[in-house]
Structure 1
Amino acid sequence: MIRRALLLATLISAPALADPPSLRKQGTATQLIVNGQPMLVIGGELSNSAASSATYMAPHWAKLKAMHLNTVLAPVSWELIEPVDGRYDWSSVDAMLKAARANDLKIVVLWFGAWKNSMSTYVPAWVKRDQTRFPRAGLPNGQGVEILSTFGAETLAADQKAFAALMAHLKTVDDRDNTVVMTQVENEIGMLPVARDYSPVANAAFAQPVPRELVDYLVAHKDGLVPEMRAMWLDRGAKTAGSWTELFGEGDAGAEVFAAWHYARFADALTRAGKAAYPMPMYVNVALNRPGRAPGEYPAGGPLPHLIDVWKAGAPSIDLIAPDIYFPNFVDIVNRYTRRDNPLFVPEANNADHPTVAANAFYAFGQLDAIGFGPFSIDSIDAEPGKLKDAYGVLQQLRPHILAAQGTGRMAGFKPRQLYDDTIVYEPQTREIGGYRFTIAFADIQRPVTSPDIATAGGMIIQIGPEEYLIAGQGITVTFKPVGDGPASAGIDSAYEGVFDAGGGWVPGRLLNGDQTHQGRHIRLGAGDWQIQRVKLYRYR
């Protein structure tokens, strides 16, 4: 009886096991659920080698927390955790988890396994040196490249074993805390410098018919295919059997679809092995292609915009495809990756010191219900005051309201659209929320002229009650007009600047009027000052 009592006491005192992180729908949005609650990933990704050294990272954790991050995206490399075949070293992982918990930060693990930025340089030395067991992809002339072939059965088996061991270890040491909330599978997969692997085994596979699973997916989803796939497949007669070139075109076209299919199948098998050990949301990221470049001049076969359908068909175990964005046309790119079957997550939203990063975050969260956002090399700027810190501070204050509004139509985000050539489309934008049409201007509404600073402007509007809104951002002027039946004019009942305290309570500052609201005509959030205004509107005849 004493033993039974001691056992019962132990069970009562032991922390309850937490459910693994998961994804859940709210209205039209998909949310990340951690410890039973929705979470917004306000993050930053470490530079590639940062997490390999606990000593290097020691001074950075508190600085990242002070920048108002709640999540750090951190690499875990195969070469560090399995330096000897079958022998694991978890010291770097455990040190990272301990430091993150000490600073109340979450982690998104980036698995640098078989591929990182297309190449295979993060694999252990015992993989690099054994090219018989772990074959390389080949060029048309027979030369090997430092990229492991997707056709290496031992490569997949070894990568699966290491990745599953990592996930099993996380389940053992983290299932009460959920410090790790998501996992990235590989990194920026794709073939260089040609469209596909030309090794003998790859050539043999390329000579085989297109797999039935891919064709069946295209047939079932033909009305929703991306424009490039529609042009490639439907415009060619929507064939349902044949070779890669017969179905998708000669030259690089069919070759790249072939590469994408086999990369996706490898990533799917790896994901299934990881989820079998510890199920949590898993995603792949993508290195985007520049306009006018041929496959191989960018990482060919990755989950690129024109190949999303191939990846959705080939890797159903992967929860989402996440774009890494270093090009100016952020708005166009994120809208392509926001789909009913693909919630938005941006793990590398340009470099952390880029001036448009903060505005891009507001757009992603406010307009597209993003799960998370994180610029790259966050450790390189964590000692600087910077505008990102100020913008993240506002996002942290708004976080409960953003989560409550996701998928409900009560929230909108905005920023000037930029084109790939850096042209700024700065004309005012409109959004309808809660019975009002809001017009957002990024330039002086009296004398609109473009300037480079306009690209950094942005914000969001969240409806929090009948005719009551939070308007947040910088460099914007907002006017408003009723929609629907009733009086046709709108005025400002009240407009307070202010902040939300640590407990979520509103702390009002100045009651804005007169010159600050253009005598009741607009709400203005000045350039360079990320802020929140709480605004009540009313209608009049």
Structure 2
Amino acid sequence: MTGMSALALSLPAMAEPPHLVQQGTARQLQVQGKPMLLIAGELGNSSSSSAAYMAPHWKKLRDMHLNTVLAPVQWELLEPVEGKFDFTQVDNLIRDARANNLKLVFLWFGAWKNSMSTYVPSWVKRDQARFPRAALVNGQEVEILSAMAPTTLASDQKALAALMAHIKQVDGKQNTVVMLQVENEIGMLPVARDYGPLAQAAWQGQVPRELTAYLTAHRDSLVPEMKRLWAAQGARTSGTWAEVFGGGIAAEEVFTAWYYARFADELTKAGKAAYDLPMYVNVALNRPGRLPGEYPSGGPLPHLIDVWKAGAPSIDMLSPDIYFPNFVDIVNRYKRADNPLFVPEANNADHPQVAGNAFYAIGQLDAIGFGPFSIESIDDKSGALGAAYDVLEQLAPHILAAQGLNKMAGFRPKALYDETLLYEPQVAVIGDYRFTVAYADIQRPALSSKTAEAGGIIVQIGPEEYLIGGSGVTVTFAPAKDGGGQAGIDSAWEGRFDSAGQWRAGRLLNGDQTHQGRHIQIPAGQWQIQRVKFYRYK
């Protein structure tokens, strides 16, 4: 093996691998015995292939208050010759992340990346007998490896297992690498399913019992689309794919989803057998009105989550990549009791609404992490994202202490897919107080150019004490129970937490800053924290 750096030499005893733990209704990532909130960013797809290219970026990313970088690892670099592994890229990434006090999530670009099979080694690309392609209706092959081929799965498993074993060897104590993404945006294009010989035989066969058993056991909690599709055929528990799900394109997509899920599950099991890190599959979402194949068919899309949960129980999370305006609607479909929320690609890093989305996902839905795409492209001009991440970094211990315990809420104006902004005030009860969060002047509500960028979080840290962070929010308050009198501000301090987690107070806000005690406000364009104590009076 090449690329075996000093990382592998004289390491202390193994630490417990990073893993997911339950706190109340939330799942948290625990690293070296402590919960961790992933304040993250994902590198561009080619950036991690060059240590020289990345060299000037690492410190800038840490200075932006990231604690985690999502970095692709390409099969073609890891195994350029079959059976001979080169870990140079992996070792360089681990070395440089450690040097800058950053964690890593590796993205395994194996058999598929954005549906296509362009990151596989040359020896896979050129051997179409061993590694058959998916085919169209007319038999024409596409540059997508067939999920039906046992040889493709076996080779992908060997490569991922070798990667995980190496990570365990060089990083089993430090836990620089905390999670792994299995493949990237799986899905079939430009048709709903593979029409190759193996796929054709499977399409004519029986629906696997595991799938119909899952649908039966979870019939009351299935997503609406799956419930309707299955019920349309009488909720049959046996038969061909056409008999159980109908003969149309929706049935073909369920078929595709099942075999992608099974492939991903078997791949995940092989990786975890070598080193048991949390693993997730990311999602290329579909636009309204598009048909399967016009978007990547069969990925873990919102309407196919149940198929993936049935077919890939080893996967810890199904995680959406979100480039559409209706962020709030999308993340709420992926926050489930059986699916902790992680957003690996939350639009491009320079998108103005990314920071507000981070506050909503983390504060409202207990996300274990959040990371916009192409993060290194903005590290010289991070602007609002760097300021927002600064606030999240300061609040992280308090966020982690509150997750799953009804002590926190997140806020942002809701946008529809057509970019219509619904910016009416939102309400949350936290502890003994009811909070109303507005995104416009509460006396004269009007949309401004900054309204869509607003975001906020409220975290309870004591019986009457709260941390309010964000930008562009105005918070009013009242007792949570009717008849409980009125609520007032005892004290409101702006300030920040230092590197040791100690609160350093700035100004005591009163009078004009609180509208004579009527509200807490963080102006648009500013990202800050206020520490507020409330009281009651008749």
Q: TM-score normalized by structure 2?
A: 0.97
Q: Distance in 1 between matches of 2:481 and 2:424?
A: 25
1:351 maps to 2:379: no
Q: Unaligned stretches of 5+ in structure 1? A: 1-12
Pick one of 33, 37, 55 that aligns with 2:34: 37
Pick one of 461, 464, 479 that aligns with 1:464: 461
Matched position secondary structure for 1:307: helix
Q: Which amino acid aligns with 1:243?
A: T
1:489 maps to 2:492: no
Matched position secondary structure for 1:470: strand
Q: Unaligned stretches of 5+ in structure 2? A: 1-9
Contact 2:450-2:525 at 8 Å conserved across structures: no
Matched position secondary structure for 1:301: coil
1:365 maps to 2:383: no
Q: Distance in 2 between matches of 1:361 and 1:487?
A: 34
The 1:263/1:14 distance shift into structure 2, 3 A limit, reads: closer
Matched position secondary structure for 1:313: helix
Q: Distance in 2 between matches of 1:531 and 1:16?
A: 41
Aligned residue for 1:319? 316
Aligned residue for 1:9? none
Measure how far apart 1:331 and its partner are.
0.3
Q: Distance in 2 between matches of 1:16 and 1:114?
A: 33
Q: Distance in 2 between matches of 1:91 and 1:343?
A: 33
1:531 maps to 2:525: no
Contact 1:77-1:111 at 8 Å conserved across structures: yes
Q: Distance in 2 between matches of 1:64 and 1:84?
A: 34
Aligned residue for 1:142? 139
Q: CA RMSD in A?
A: 0.9
Measure how far apart 1:452 and its partner are.
3.7
Contact 1:440-1:476 at 8 Å conserved across structures: yes
Q: Distance in 2 between matches of 1:511 and 1:466?
A: 20
- Superposed, 1:228-307 pairs within 5 Å as 228-307=225-304
Q: Distance in 2 between matches of 1:276 and 1:129?
A: 29
Pick one of 383, 404, 408 that aligns with 2:405: 408
Q: Which amino acid aligns with 1:186?
A: E
Matched position secondary structure for 1:238: coil
Aligned residue for 2:395? 398
Pick one of 35, 57, 70 that aligns with 1:73: 70
Mean Cα deviation higher: 343-352 or 381-390: 381-390
Aligned residue for 1:223? 220
Q: Distance in 2 between matches of 1:493 and 1:433?
A: 17
1:208 maps to 2:205: yes
Q: Distance in 1 between matches of 2:482 and 2:302?
A: 42
Q: Distance in 1 between matches of 2:351 and 2:303?
A: 27
Aligned residue for 1:437? 434
Q: Distance in 2 between matches of 1:535 and 1:16?
A: 45
Measure how far apart 1:243 and its partner are.
1.5
Q: Which amino acid aligns with 2:49?
A: S
Q: Which amino acid aligns with 1:438?
A: F
Q: TM-score normalized by structure 1?
A: 0.97
Aligned residue for 1:476? 473
Q: Distance in 2 between matches of 1:523 and 1:336?
A: 31
Contact 2:11-2:170 at 8 Å conserved across structures: no
Q: Which amino acid aligns with 1:195?
A: A
Q: Distance in 2 between matches of 1:105 and 1:483?
A: 41
Measure how far apart 1:14 and its partner are.
6.4
Report the number of matched residues.
Answer: 529
Measure how far apart 1:247 and its partner are.
1.6
Q: Distance in 1 between matches of 2:484 and 2:202?
A: 68
The 1:114/1:385 distance shift into structure 2, 3 A limit, reads: closer
Q: Distance in 1 between matches of 2:290 and 2:202?
A: 26
Q: Distance in 2 between matches of 1:451 and 1:114?
A: 46
The 1:304/1:14 distance shift into structure 2, 3 A limit, reads: closer
Q: Distance in 2 between matches of 1:284 and 1:311?
A: 10
Matched position secondary structure for 1:215: helix
Aligned residue for 1:5? none
The 1:40/1:173 distance shift into structure 2, 3 A limit, reads: same
Aligned residue for 2:109? 112
Aligned residue for 2:419? 422
Measure how far apart 1:485 and its partner are.
6.6
Pick one of 501, 504, 522 that aligns with 2:501: 504
Aligned residue for 2:97? 100
Runs (4+) off by over 4 Å: none
Contact 2:11-2:173 at 8 Å conserved across structures: no
Contact 1:245-1:253 at 8 Å conserved across structures: no
Pick one of 3, 18, 21 that aligns with 1:21: 18
Matched position secondary structure for 2:69: strand
Aligned residue for 2:124? 127
Matched position secondary structure for 1:328: coil
Q: Which amino acid aligns with 1:262?
A: Y
For residues 316-375 of structure 1, the C-alpha deviation after alignment (integer angstroms, 9 at most, x for no partner) is 000110000000000000000000000000000000000000000000110000010000
Contact 2:488-2:517 at 8 Å conserved across structures: yes
Measure how far apart 1:235 and its partner are.
3.7
Contact 1:437-1:483 at 8 Å conserved across structures: yes
Matched position secondary structure for 2:461: strand
Q: Which amino acid aligns with 1:392?
A: Y
Q: Distance in 1 between matches of 2:402 and 2:162?
A: 38
Q: Distance in 1 between matches of 2:44 and 2:526?
A: 28
For residues 99-119 of structure 1, the C-alpha deviation after alignment (integer angstroms, 9 at most, x for no partner) is 000000000000000000000
Matched position secondary structure for 2:529: strand
